[in-house]
Amino acid sequence: MSTKPPTYMLDHPEIRDSVTRLCEGFPGEYWRKNDREQDYPREFVDALTQAGFLSALIPEEFDGSGLPLSAGAAILEEVHRSGGNAGACHAQMYTMGTLLRHGSQSQKQQYLPAISCGELRLQAFGVTEPTSGTDTTALRTTARREGDHYVVNGQKIWTSRAQYSDLMILLCRTTPREQVEKKTDGLSVLLVDMREARGKTLTIRPIRTMMNHATTEIFFDDMRVPVDNLIGEEGRGFRYILSGMNTERILIASECIGDAKWFIEKATAYASERSVFGRPIGQNQGVQFPIARAYAQMRAAELVLREAIRLYDAGENPGEEANLAKMLAADASWASAEMCVQTYGGFGFAEEYDVERKFRETRLYQVAPISTNLILSYLGEHVLGLPRSY
Ligand SMILES: Cc1cc2nc3c(=O)[nH]c(=O)nc-3n(C[C@H](O)[C@H](O)[C@H](O)COP(=O)(O)OP(=O)(O)OC[C@H]3O[C@@H](n4cnc5c(N)ncnc54)[C@H](O)[C@@H]3O)c2cc1C
């Protein structure tokens, strides 16, 4: 019986091949060790940076590769399909977009080439706060103008990779909510150089989580940020953050598709090899059908994702498709994870097979970077025109 995984018509085959080859240098043992110790996969992130994959979306004039989003999506999908996890570094691909789209020419000249070559890391994205949660405009971190600086006070939570980043894109309030007409006004984006402030006016505390994600909570105590580091116009930051959401949704959906493929390929191989009652377990339709169903679910999500990417790369604003792709891909990866554990039986729980690790990792996408409910709310209100609920 063939255990060869199905072949798909995929874009960027050369990029996919090189990512797969790079990932072969970081096998299951590497990820298991980091997972066990909740350690940051430095060597992997360095290798991706050196190979130029993390600067794929930065334009050539800033020393990146200037590739379309489809290339970034292919890179992240293959990392996940190979059994790895790009959560340690994926944010650079989308946070960089805030600087690229809304930053001044001098900010771009100053930071983007250094990010491209790996001299500076832009991995931290400070939006979520403990009290406001999903209700972003209720955030409480403030930046008060004092001469040529902003003075920042407040707290963020779930600021992933902050310990392994030099720069952070920070969303904070520059005008109190009571003084603005629309609650989305009065928020601003600062590009924070964390190197100076760390341990003084910026405190980073790691949060241990069910999977290895290097996430943290951070506290600002009169942290000074030069006014020159304001991205775009003061008070318009919420729009700038929103404008990057399609990119984020599409890239995360690609990781989910990569995870789903990994689970399906693992389960297919295992069900073909594992023999119980004198025959491969995959010969039983009770084992075979869940694998086929997970495959169907993954392919459907993948097709919607390809449509979202196609529209995005054609210069459109595919809010509906990007949201659909994120939700369907996250559902597909989670369904595949559940199927894979069941196919492996007891061995699905053993660390050495990586199934339980990937199972924990892929659970995140039902909650972050945006929860399934919030996507349904977007579809209900913005696509179907149902009454607003908040
Ligand atoms: C590992 C990890 C890494 C993260 N990394 C980052 C990061 O780097 N930067 C960053 O800024 N954030 C990050 N986040 C935060 C993430 O974006 C949020 O956890 C997510 O958006 C959900 O917000 P919340 O946790 O505050 O949940 P809450 O807003 O408290 O919501 C809790 C639950 O209630 C549901 N809910 C809330 N309101 C409604 C409603 N009106 N209708 C229906 N359901 C609703 C939500 O869907 C959710 O399931 C990370 C989170 C995790 C767990």
pLDDT, tens digit, for every residue of 11-43? 999 999 999 999 999 999 999 999 999 999 999
Read off the pLDDT band of 3 (50, 70, 90): very low
Atom of ligand 1 nearest to the CA of 209: 1
How does pLDDT run across 242-276, given as a tens digit for each residue?
999 999 999 999 999 999 999 999 999 999 999 99
pLDDT score of 176 more than 80: yes
Gap from CA of 345 to ligand 1 centroid (Å): 32
Gap from CA of 95 to ligand 1 centroid (Å): 18
When the pLDDT of each residue in the chain is averaged and rounded to a whole number, the result is 96
For the record, the structure tokens of 343 come out as 């196919």
Gap from CA of 380 to ligand 1 centroid (Å): 19
pLDDT score of 5 more than 60: no
CA distances from 48 to 20, 40, 364 (A): 11, 14, 23
Gap from CA of 2 to ligand 1 centroid (Å): 42
Q: Report pLDDT for 10.
A: 86
How does pLDDT run across 51-85, given as a tens digit for each residue?
999 999 999 999 999 999 999 999 999 999 999 99
Nearest CA to ligand 1 atom 48: 371
- Residue 388 near ligand 1, beta carbon < 6 Å: no
Domains and CATH numbers, the chain: 13-116 (1.10.540.10), 122-235 (2.40.110.10), 242-383 (1.20.140.10)
Q: Report pLDDT for 390.
A: 86
Gap from CA of 370 to ligand 1 centroid (Å): 6
Report the 3 state secondary structure along the chain. Answer: CCCCCCCCCCCCHHHHHHHHHHHHCCCHHHHHHHHHHCCCCHHHHHHHHHCCHHHCCCCHHHCCCCCCHHHHHHHHHHHHHCCCCHHHCCHHHHHHHHHHHHCCHHHHHHHHHHHHCCCCCEEEEECCCCCCCCCHHHCCCEEEEECCEEEEEEEEECCCCHHHCCEEEEEEECCCHHHCCCCCCCEEEEEEEHHHHECCCEEEEECCCCCCCCCEEEEEEEEEEEHHHEECCCCEHHHHHHCCHHHHHHHHHHHHHHHHHHHHHHHHHHHHHCEECCEEHHHCHHHHHHHHHHHHHHHHHHHHHHHHHHHHHCCCCCHHHHHHHHHHHHHHHHHHHHHHHHHHHHHHHCHHHCHHHHHHHHHHHHCCCCCHHHHHHHHHHHHCCCCCCC
Nearest CA to ligand 1 atom 24: 133
In this prediction, residues 196-212 reach a mean pLDDT of 97
Gap from CA of 119 to ligand 1 centroid (Å): 31
Nearest CA to ligand 1 atom 26: 133
For a pocket test of ligand 1, which of 241, 364, 365, 371 has the largest count of ligand atoms closer than 8 A to its C-beta? Answer: 371
Gap from CA of 66 to ligand 1 centroid (Å): 32
CA dist 3 and 269 (Å) reads 5
pLDDT score of 219 more than 80: yes
In this prediction, residues 284-309 reach a mean pLDDT of 98
Q: Give yes or no for a contact between 209 and 63, defined as CB atoms under 8 angstroms apart.
A: no
Gap from CA of 130 to ligand 1 centroid (Å): 10
Nearest CA to ligand 1 atom 53: 368
Q: Report pLDDT for 1.
A: 42
- Residue 134 near ligand 1, beta carbon < 6 Å: yes
Q: Report pLDDT for 25.
A: 98
In this prediction, residues 184-207 reach a mean pLDDT of 97
Q: Report pLDDT for 2.
A: 44
First-to-final CA distance of the chain: 54
- Residue 116 near ligand 1, beta carbon < 6 Å: no
How does pLDDT run across 320-377, given as a tens digit for each residue?
999 999 999 999 999 999 999 999 999 999 999 999 999 999 999 999 999 999 999 9
pLDDT score of 91 more than 80: yes
**Whole-structure pTM value:** 0.97
